Amino acid sequence: MKSVISVNYKFMEIPPRELLELVAKYADGIEVYADYHQQAEVEYLNEIAALVPDYRLRLQIHGESTLSLVEQKEFLTHVNQFSVGNGPILVTLHSIYDEDLRESVEKTKQYFGEILKFVEENCPNIKILIENLNDWEGHRRLKMADIVPVLKEYSQLGLTYDIGHVLADGEKELVKLAPEYMSSVQNLHIHSCRSAEDDHLPIYPEDKNWGALVDALKKFGDLPVVFEYNLIECRGESIREKAIDYLKTFAPLINAASE
């Protein structure tokens, strides 16, 4: 398994090269979320992308499905220019949310259909993945069972399986995948939670969910595992100290899942 750190705006107090030097000591890659509408965040992503080859790290992207199709195509065209040595850049997107579940599924099909066609024709360096979600703040979002129709519709669409989202929904069986969809999984997200409203927590060996998370990871092969934490919940005073604590949680879980 390849350990990957999830980086968003909270990390941006740390200069890109300094961050990558830390990441290279503990992990195999970095998955970056940058707000398309915040120029400073996009520039941070650009700097990360330019430096990643120096450290032989994977580069992945967590995009945002709230972008219009025009904006999404502009963003993906931009990402397609990044040069990395680990094959296509994995770009994870959420499904579309609508008050009506059926509308959510249909709008997700339409949105991903447009994106996949565009990527096939214009972005050879990108692989699009859809992520299973959990319910959030009383809203019914698309879970694994709900995105199956989207995966059926588009054979070229990959899956980011978020183990933490299944955990946050209170499910005891964390890998709820029919055998035919195991091969669709190309990326994993993992995190712990105290409740559905308090998730994306760091995973420490004393965590009550440790055993369940280890057992879930054992079901997958050599895939990127993105540790997707809320940085503020990690131990330490400064952002740098919290980032180091974040990174130090990777090896114990990966090692336990490899036994």
Q: Is the pTM of this model over 0.85?
A: yes
Over range 206-225, report the average pLDDT.
94
Average pLDDT on 71-79 reads 97
At 33, the pLDDT band (50, 70, 90 cuts) reads very high
Q: State residue 172's pLDDT score.
A: 84
The reported pLDDT for the residue numbered 197 is 67
Q: How many helices (H) and strands (E) does the chain have?
A: 10, 10
Residue 170: pLDDT over 90: no
> Worst-scoring range by mean pLDDT, 56-60, 119-123, 172-176?
172-176
d(CA 215, CA 91): 26
Q: Is the per-residue pLDDT at 239 higher than 80?
A: yes
Lowest mean pLDDT among 20-24, 170-174, 209-213: 170-174
Residue 14 confidence (pLDDT): 97
The whole-number average pLDDT for the span 230-240 is 96
What is the pLDDT at residue 83? 76
Phi, psi of 233 (to 5 degrees): -80, -10
Question: What's the confidence (pLDDT) of residue 194?
Answer: 84
User: Between 100 and 49, whose confidence is greater?
Assistant: 49
Is the pLDDT assigned to residue 138 strictly greater than 70? no
Residue 183 CB neighbour total at 10 angstroms: 10
- Average of per-residue pLDDT across 86-94: 92
- Is residue 169 very low, low, confident or very high in pLDDT (cuts 50, 70, 90)? confident
For every residue of 110-163, DSSP letters joined together read: HHHHHHHHHHHHH-TTEEEEEE----BTTB----HHHHHHHHHH-TT-EEEEEH
Q: Mind listing the pLDDT tens digit for each residue in 143-163?
A: 998 999 999 999 999 999 999
Please tell me whether residue 249 adopts helix, strand or coil conformation.
Answer: coil
Domains of the chain: 2-258 (3.20.20.150)
Work out the percent of the chain whose per-residue pLDDT is above 90: 83
Cα 222 from Cα 213, distance rounded (Å): 16
pLDDT at 195 over 80: no
- pLDDT at site 84: 75
Mean of the per-residue pLDDT values of the chain: 93
Phi, psi of 161 (to 5 degrees): -90, 115
When pLDDT is averaged across residues 120-146 and rounded to a whole number, the result is 88
